[in-house]
Homo-oligomer: A and B are copies of this chain.
Amino acid sequence: MNFEQLKEKTRSIINKVSTISEGSLDLVSDLIVIEIYEKGDVFIDRGKRNHKEYFVFEGVCRSFLLSPEGEEVTISFFLEDSVLSPNKTRTANQISHLNFQALTKLTVASLNADKFEQLMINHLDIREFGNMVLQNELLAKVEKEIGLASLNAKERLILFREKYHFLENLISHVDIASYLGITNVSLSRLRKSLIA
């Protein structure tokens, strides 16, 4: 991928959230380093330092944590052409409090988070982009929280299908079940009940 291709890919991802100027796009693109991971790779480890922002160029990944019982709980999915949670929202003192894992072959653009923060401070359009990412992140969390707190599992699965239609045939049902707050056995039961 040459710089022009990289820039166009970045443009399309950023513009889906909030438009920025050509000059700002150049400033952002200049920070990008491409990283490639294989299916199953954990590319951000809870407890380790992480000082990057990420755009998902190709593939799908998830954030997850271990429950008190030691089971992996999927927090969020990130699809192709989307922006990962802002660094500030998933770290403390640059130490990650979440794990991130590639669920398919994954290509991401990574950016130094401190340099990106400086761009946000100095450029209104980049700041607005960053703030929109933040707002979308919180909005998604609130929506998920409402689902977990007030819907039953069947209703949550229906909403999941509306939002992540193609994931169900692409990734492990164990990961989907923990995202929905149920066991994979319950997920299988619900899938059957929704065929009719």
A residues neighboring B (CB under 8 Å): 65, 67-69, 71, 73, 75, 85, 88-92, 97-98, 121, 131, 134-135, 137-139, 141-142, 144-146, 148-151, 155, 178-181
Contacts and interface: CB of A to CB of B under 8 A. Distances in A.
A172 to B, nearest CB: 16
Given A67-B150, A73-B146, A144-B145, 12 more contacts: A67-B146, A68-B150, A68-B155, A73-B149, A88-B135, A90-B138, A92-B135, A98-B142, A141-B145, A148-B149, A148-B181, A149-B179
Contact of A145 (B85, B145, B150): B145
The 5 closest A-B pairs by CB, nearest first: A67-B150, A149-B181, A148-B148, A89-B138, A73-B150
A187 to B, nearest CB: 13
Contact of A134 (B68, B88, B146): B88
A75 B145 contact: yes
A150 B178 contact: yes
Given A75-B145, A92-B135, A145-B145, A150 B98 contact: no
A150 B181 contact: yes
Chain A contact residues: over half helix, strand or loop, or mixed?
helix
A67, A69, A91 — most chain B CB neighbours (10 Å)? A67
17 contacts: A68-B155, A71-B150, A73-B146, A73-B149, A75-B146, A85-B138, A89-B135, A91-B135, A97-B142, A98-B142, A121-B121, A134-B134, A138-B141, A141-B145, A145-B148, A149-B178, A149-B181
Contacts of A178: 149-150
B88 A142 contact: no
A112 to B, nearest CB: 16
A145 B139 CA distance: 14
